[in-house]
Amino acid sequence: MNTKSSSSTALTPLFCLIVLCSSPRLKAAPVVFQSSENQTSLLELYTSEGCSSCPPAEAWLSRLKESPGLWKDFVPVAFHVDYWDYLGWRDPWSSKTFTARQHAYAGAWQSDSVYTPGFVLNGKEWRGWSRSKTVPSSTVKAGVLKVTTSDLKNWDVSFTPFTPSNESYEVHAVLLASGLTSDVKAGENKGRHLEHDFIVISLNGCLLKPDGNSVQGRFELKLANKEQARAGALAIWVTHAGRLETLQATGGWLPTAP
């Protein structure tokens, strides 16, 4: 297993702007993503094209596309980190922001290192993925998270927690791309043809405001250039403000252009 020492790294600020990649001809029908009252788990994979141990973990994640629990029981996301780029192959999907997020987890766990492949399940390190066929179910009563749009640009968020809290909440939203491939020319995976699913291509969010028994908010997705038009899904989750642990999640496949 590959490891690399870390230093304390703060999470980058959140912004209420996300780039949605889609054809300008797309005419969106109303879209609703909604959880049940039971917690939908957020499964995060930290990975890199520069890591020879990562392809089996990514293949395992890809198989979740066929799971009946996808989007209902769990939401999978793959963050590509950049700390293996020094080996000579720059992962095209890597980001310092994603590396900082993994370092923040390591700090919360009082660990002095980060590694790939590394799975995080609802904010906790999960090493049992290779012995599991799917994601463990959560028994937590979390509350209902609902995200709606009528134009694929403006998204309204409502979260009604099962247990009310005086703490502030924030929503996080990521665009996901699947079916991406790379022919690696250098590094530990030199000569390999790699396939990826659920790759995070943007990470943003915003604070939610109290509204009766729920908290509400809105984020905006703006159309981008065709190079980024592979975004095929949206994953959304809620945390307490400034915290990493997921309270509730939802998501789903985005409509595609005809």
Between CA 129 and CA 79 the distance in angstroms is 16
CATH of the domain at 18: 2.60.40.10
Choose among 126, 139, 161, 137: nearest CA to 239.
161
- Angle (nearest 5°) at CA 179 between 187 and 94: 40
Render 69-94 in DSSP notation, one character per residue: TBTTTEEEEEEEPSTTGGGS---TTB
Query: Does the pLDDT of residue 203 top 90, yes or no?
Result: no
- Identify the band that residue 17 occupies on the pLDDT scale cut at 50, 70 and 90: very low
- Identify the band that residue 205 occupies on the pLDDT scale cut at 50, 70 and 90: confident
Number of domains in the chain: 1
What is the phi/psi pair of residue 101, to 5°? -65, -45
Is 134 inside any structural domain?
no
- Identify the band that residue 230 occupies on the pLDDT scale cut at 50, 70 and 90: low
For residue 216, how many other CB atoms are within 10 A of its CB? 16
* Domain, as residue range, for 159: 14-127+140-253
Share of residues in the chain with pLDDT > 70 (%): 84
Is 200 inside any structural domain?
yes
Paired tokens of 241: 């403000």
Is 9 inside any structural domain?
no
Prediction pTM value: 0.87
Q: Which residues 6+ apart lie within 8 Å of 130 measured at CB?
A: 56, 57, 60
**Partners of 206 in the β-ladder:** 171
Paired tokens of 179: 């079916």
Is 6 inside any structural domain?
no
Q: Which segments of the chain are extended strands (E)?
A: 2-5, 17-20, 31-34, 41-47, 74-80, 113-116, 118-121, 124-126, 143-149, 154-161, 169-177, 180-183, 193-196, 199-211, 214-223, 231-240, 248-253
Query: Does the pLDDT of residue 164 top 50, yes or no?
Result: yes
Between CA 109 and CA 38 the distance in angstroms is 25
Query: Does the pLDDT of residue 181 top 70, yes or no?
Result: yes
What is the phi/psi pair of residue 228, to 5°? -100, 15
Is 8 inside any structural domain?
no
- Identify the band that residue 204 occupies on the pLDDT scale cut at 50, 70 and 90: confident
Is 155 inside any structural domain?
yes
